[in-house]
Every structure is written in C-alpha cells, then in structure tokens.
Amino acid sequence: MHNNTIHQPAVEVVTVTLNPAIDQTVTIPNFAAGKVNRVEQVQSNPGGKGVNVAAALADYGHSVAVTGFLGRESCIPFETMFAQKRIADHFVRIAGQTRVGIKITDPVAHQTTDINFPGQAPTPADLATLEQRLSELSAQWVVMAGSIPPAVTPAIYRELIQTVKAQGRRVILDTSDAGLQQALAAAPQIIKPNIHELEALVGRPLPTRQAVIAAARALLTPGIELVVVSMGSEGACFVTAERVVIAHPPDVAIKSTVGAGDAMVAGIVAGQLRKLPLEQCARLATAFALDALTHIGAGLSAPSAIEGLMDSVEIEVSEYSDAQVRSDFVG
C-alpha cells in the first residue's frame, strides 16, 4: 500500500484517545435515581479524555494533533471541532458509531453521574494503522488518555508508550485499571491518576495526604519523573523524587465536573512545554482544571481567564527526605 502520510509536519503535542465519546451533558436539578426527573438543559459535545486535552491545549495556543479511533458513523461533531480549533485530525476511522457518554449533572447537589457506554471494538488492522500514524506524527509530548475499547488488550498503552519513547518522545498517561497497571512497566514520564485510581492501583485506601504522597512516590521508578494525583476539591499533589507540591484551589461555582481532570492534564503539558518550575506548573494545571469546572464542553472558556485563576491557587511545597517517606509507609 502506498503511504503518502509520512513526514507529517511537527506539532508540539499529539493526544491519543482510543475510546472517544460524544459527551451528552444533561442538567437535572435535584436528580434522583429511580424517580421521574425533568431535564433543564441538554448539550452534546465531542469528548473523550485525549480529545478534551487537545481542545484545551489548542485554545491555549499550542499546536496539537489528535489520533485514536473514531466511529465512521458519528465523526462529524469531532471533525467540526477539530476544524474550529485548528487541531490536526489523524484519527483512524473504524466501523460503527462513536460511543455516547451520558453525564447527568445536578447543579443543586453539585454532583455528576456518569453513564459510560463501552464503545466500538477496533480490528487488528485498525490497531496497526494507529501504530503507523502515531510513529509518523512528530511531537515533543504524547498524551495517552482514557479507557481502552472492547476487545483491545490492556497492554495497549504499554506497547504504545514503548514505541513513542523509542523515538525520543515524552509521554503523559492518564488512564486507570489494568491499562495503567501494565503501562507502568514502560515508564511514561508523567502519570496523572485521581485519588480513586491511585487507591485501586496500590490496592488500599489512602485516607491521609501523607499516604497519598507515599503511594505516589512509590511509583517514581526510573523513567517516571512526576506523579500528579488529583483529589477533586482537595486540589492535587505533584510528586517528584525530590519534592512535593500541593495545589489548593479556591472555591468556584461548579457548572460541570466533566473534563476537569483532562484540563489538568492539558495544563501539566502546557507547563512542561513552557519549562515552568514545578510550583508554576501546579498553578497552571490547577487553573486549567478550575476553568473546566465553570463551563460545559471541551476547551478553555478563554485563555485570558487562566492567569487570574493561577493567582487564586495556593501552593504548599515540601522537600521529602527518605526518613519521612519510610515513616509515611509505616504510618
């Protein structure tokens, strides 16, 4: 087969979304399971973790390409958004529809209920095409994010990370369960589990901040340089071998929690591209996440909003000694 896609123009970031979704956000005040609920508002947005990361980075002025698998029957909303945000579309089109993820958001209780469909299964040929595209896309950073589609091995992220790291690229991974567990062996430079994903990974509850930091530090094997643990309204811990930065966000009026973790990943990448020190990177990533909470849909409300939000984030820094880490594990 003649391949005319080699030598793609370089971008700063490539995001990989194996299992994208059309996010249908349904607003229901006082939502109650098992009862009749009245919908106040409904909105559909192309989504999936890597797509959300790409949208926020593009809005912040970075050059981004996207790849992964998109169902042929429902790719128009994605194509429209990619065109609007000037995101280079290298998704592999596969048979069927892209899944729908329903988010029921209750503005009174400040809660979001997720109903996630499984998604289409790519064929082995689709997987081979994805690997080919990924190896042809030149970027400093590759973001791999989200769940793994049906019938795809949980080792997929490990394999993709090994491929792109061998080409000298840096990887940030945001996934969960077996996909995360197996990918650790390939040592992505940055991982961003939320507190629940980290607890599942280490197989125990992490009731204190010390326990969270100790568990994150234990993941810093050679090659993994930064572990960011997002903890919702508690903020996030940014953990390296030498230090820990805890970002405390201010209270904001929450419209939707959809995509806040993805916005944080975008902020981490933006901080890395700007070579910011860890404290500033933590501020920027938290500002991105805060911005996502204030509106529905992928991307930033406005790039100018980020600076003001950065100023509102409180930062706490600790240098961690080995003795401290040992006492964390025992305690």
Dihedral in degrees, nearest 10, Cα atoms 87, 78, 305, 64: -20
Instruction: Quickly count: other Cβ atoms within 10 Å of residue 188's Cβ.
Output: 28
Active-site entry in 59, 106, 262, 328: 262
Instruction: Quickly count: other Cβ atoms within 10 Å of residue 296's Cβ.
Output: 17
Comparing C-alpha atoms, which of 116, 111, 145 is closest to residue 232?
Answer: 111
Sheet holding 21-27, edge to edge: 41-47, 21-27, 99-106, 111-116
Q: What is the CA radius of gyration of the chain?
A: 19
Q: Please, is 49 exposed, middle or buried when counting C-beta atoms within 10 Å of its C-beta (0-12, 13-18, 19+)?
A: buried
Check if 262 is active-site.
yes
Half-sphere exposure of 234 (CA within 13 A, CB side): 12
Q: Are 273 and 13 in contact (CB under 8 A)?
A: yes
Report the helix count and the strand count for the chain, using DSSP H and E. Answer: 11, 15
One-character DSSP codes across 161-190: HHHHHHTT-EEEEE--HHHHHHHGGG--SE
Residues marked active site are found at 262
